[in-house]
Amino acid sequence: MAILDILEFPDPRLRTVAQPVKEVDARVQKIVDDMFETMYDAPGIGLAATQVNIHERIITIDVSEDKSEPLVFINPEITVLDGELESMQEGCLSVPGFYEDVTRVEHCLVKALDRKGEAFELECRGLLAVCIQHEVDHLEGKLMVDYISPMKRNRIKSKLDKKHKIEARQGKR
């Protein structure tokens, strides 16, 4: 397994729309394993393949406190089960250090393939529902900063651009 580099906003590769996985094979399973290692190391509760510059529809999630409930969603499709909206403060591994309120559907159904390529459905509420919607957004080239005002988004972009320039001078990026 390997820890992968996480792309950070405003990297344009984060805007790439991910392609469906044609076959869940050993290559895809290795990507899943590397994504879990990267997500846990970051530390985060969700990671989309787009965030690690792999433009395939793969998501890893673990919203448990002890990292004991890993979930894999390959080619996920979300269906809204009720229109109740919930506003929750979200962070993002690709927008490090920033947290913003984002409003999402509180209850949804996800259809996907698991790590073995077997189809499953999962009804999601609360944090898991928010997390899966956040990660599916990544697969569509959308970021949490797209839900906030242009002024806030530009401020975050400026701060991260400055951070990236400093890291580049120090040889960290």
What is the rounded distance in angstroms from the CA atom of residue 61 to the CA atom of residue 36? 8
pTM here is 0.95
Check which CATH number belongs to the domain holding 70 and give it: 3.90.45.10
Structural domain boundaries enclosing 108? 12-171
Assess if residue 89 is contained within a domain: yes
Assess if residue 4 is contained within a domain: no
Peptide bond into 96 cis (omega under 30): no
Catalytic residue among 8, 106, 135, 140: 135
Q: What is the pLDDT along the chain (173 residues), one digit of tens a residue?
A: 899 999 999 999 999 999 999 999 999 999 999 999 999 999 999 999 999 999 999 999 999 999 999 999 999 999 998 878 989 999 999 999 999 999 999 999 999 999 999 999 999 999 999 999 999 999 999 999 999 999 999 999 999 999 999 999 998 76
Name the binding residues. Answer: 92, 134, 138
Assess if residue 105 is contained within a domain: yes
Assess if residue 94 is contained within a domain: yes
Assess if residue 7 is contained within a domain: no
Q: Count up the domains in the chain and report the number.
A: 1
Assess if residue 153 is contained within a domain: yes
Q: Select from 8, 7, 135, 20 the least CA-distant residue to 71.
A: 135
Q: Determine whether 123 is an active site residue.
A: no
